[in-house]
Structure 1
Amino acid sequence: MGSRETVNKILRLNTRDKTTLLRSSFLAQMGPTAMPAMMEIVTVANFEARDVLFREGEHAEFFYSVLVGYVRLYRLNKDGREADIRICGPGDTFAECLLALGDTYLYNAQAAEPVTLARFDLQRVRQLAEVQPDVAKAVIRCLSNHLLDTMDCIANDRLQTAPQRVASYLLAACNVQDGPASIRLPFQKSLLAGKLGLAPEALSRAFSSLKRIGVSVRGRSIHVTDVSALKQI
């Protein structure tokens, strides 16, 4: 694993990053009073691929919103085995649960590739939530969305085979209802495995089983011969 980089705390949001942040689930529905207050306390941090943002059990100062790139959240067992919890991409927020749960990180976070993150000071946001109802509502909304996503993930783990999980992901990424489709993964296949709750070798076996219905993989590029056939998996 990489080590944490020294962070430039005075970076400012460019237009693209500000747009991504304002569309994030945390900020998107804030009103005209709460929004400027949140934007005043945001700082921007850059990390290189494989940099560790924080480790489970460390003192927590910030929660984050992804502006560019992907971050993997994961846990380690005593033998050093890793289990991905979530893959966060642009617009996703993570560690905001600590606004209500305490002052130590509950999992590890690592940059899967070069990333740009918006950081929010936990203590200052807690103070804002006391006087700005929109901030408190945003926290509740984010945590509710995470709960629903987790429930869907558990259901998929129990109800779908590995090929079915991969097929569901590909169907969601397709922009056609039938016929052929081409998809380019936004991240490495190892991240897709973690996102789907699969070991990398299980993902490879799932793709192999989908070859019979015309799914071919070359690097991050995936071609589906017939979307209708994929729906029948």
Structure 2
Amino acid sequence: MLDRSNRANNRERNLLAKTSFMKHLSPAALESLLDSAQIISLPARSIIFREGESATAIYCLLAGYARLYRMGKDGRQADFRICTPGEVFAECLVFGGTHYPYSAQAAENVSLARLDAKDVRDLAERDPTVAKAMIAALSEHLIVTTETLVNDRLHTAPQRVADYLLERCPVDSGSASIRLPFQKNLLAGMLGLAPEALSRAFSSLKRAGVSVRGRVIQISDVKALREM
């Protein structure tokens, strides 16, 4: 039984209703998921679930960032996705699998909506809008994963960093300033780099006029960076 103190309040229900996963659901399905959502707040570095644990829920991130990663036999961690507010994760378990295939950790203070996986599965069998929303979420994540894999194969570390900056650059020429939304170690994980490899990449981009101060990235010549 869901603790009523953990039910979504009006603000949280509005946030959930606007997510890409829920915004196209039928009114009945949306109301059902909003009513059943359990809101959880966790401090930075908290484990949301661990690889190999029984998969009982999917999650929608309302605030903060979460990292998804796999653990190697030598204990090293490999990030493969950084989740941002409005995104769902672990949705792949709704239609198959009984254990989480990766771990999830709060990268900073987070607010999450927890949805019981069985409840979502049962609802998807009755309401096609839920099934379509799940397929759309899975398709989006597959596309992103494919692009990440291709970038890892075809681009050097400096090129990956440059591409990330250019995608978020507000101008096509001249100088620009970009503030990272999270710490650089999360950016490293997002780009498939070790933290030290990210530092070397930024150092190599200095010749293109890129300088780093904390989370603020200064680009003296956007066009030069684009032509690297």
Aligned counterpart in structure 1 of residue 211 of structure 2, from 216, 222, 225: 216
Q: Structure 1 residue 170 and structure 2 residue 165: aligned?
A: yes
SS at match of 1:33: helix
Instruction: State the distance in 1 between where 2:39 and 2:31 align.
Output: 16
In the other structure, the counterpart of 2:78 is 83
Aligned counterpart in structure 2 of residue 202 of structure 1, from 197, 205, 222: 197
In the other structure, the counterpart of 1:40 is 35
Q: Which structure 2 residues correspond to residues 87-166 of structure 1 after superposition, within 5 A? A: 87-166=82-161
Aligned counterpart in structure 2 of residue 67 of structure 1, from 58, 62, 70: 62
Residue type of the partner of 1:154? L
Instruction: State the distance in 1 between where 2:98 and 2:196 align.
Output: 36
Residue type of the partner of 2:130? V
SS at match of 1:90: coil
Q: Answer whether contact 1:9 1:45 (CA < 8 A) is retained.
A: no
Q: CA deviation at 1:107?
A: 0.4
Q: CA deviation at 1:64?
A: 0.4
Structure 1 residues 17, 211: CA separation in 2 closer, same or farther (over 3 Å shift)? farther
Q: Answer whether contact 1:189 1:220 (CA < 8 A) is retained.
A: yes
Q: Answer whether contact 2:13 2:34 (CA < 8 A) is retained.
A: no
Structure 1 residues 17, 170: CA separation in 2 closer, same or farther (over 3 Å shift)? farther
SS at match of 1:100: coil
Query: After the TM superposition, which segments of 4 or more aligned residues of structure 1 sit over 3 Å from their partners?
Result: 12-20
SS at match of 2:54: coil
Q: Answer whether contact 1:13 1:44 (CA < 8 A) is retained.
A: yes
Please, what TM-score do these two structures have when normalized by structure 1?
Answer: 0.93
Q: Answer whether contact 1:9 1:44 (CA < 8 A) is retained.
A: no
Q: CA deviation at 1:21?
A: 2.1
Question: Please, what is the CA RMSD of the aligned residues?
Answer: 1.6
Structure 1 residues 14, 178: CA separation in 2 closer, same or farther (over 3 Å shift)? farther
Q: Single out whichever of 58-67 and 15-24 deviates more from structure 2.
A: 15-24
Please, what TM-score do these two structures have when normalized by structure 2?
Answer: 0.94
Q: CA deviation at 1:29?
A: 1.9
* Length, aligned pairs only: 227
Residue type of the partner of 1:139? M
Q: Answer whether contact 1:70 1:87 (CA < 8 A) is retained.
A: yes
In the other structure, the counterpart of 1:3 is none
SS at match of 2:173: coil
Instruction: State the distance in 1 between where 2:181 and 2:39 align.
Output: 22
SS at match of 2:30: helix
Q: CA deviation at 1:175?
A: 1.5
Instruction: State the distance in 1 between where 2:19 and 2:155 align.
Output: 29
SS at match of 1:134: helix
Instruction: State the distance in 1 between where 2:17 and 2:170 align.
Output: 26
Structure 1 unpaired stretches of 5+: 1-7
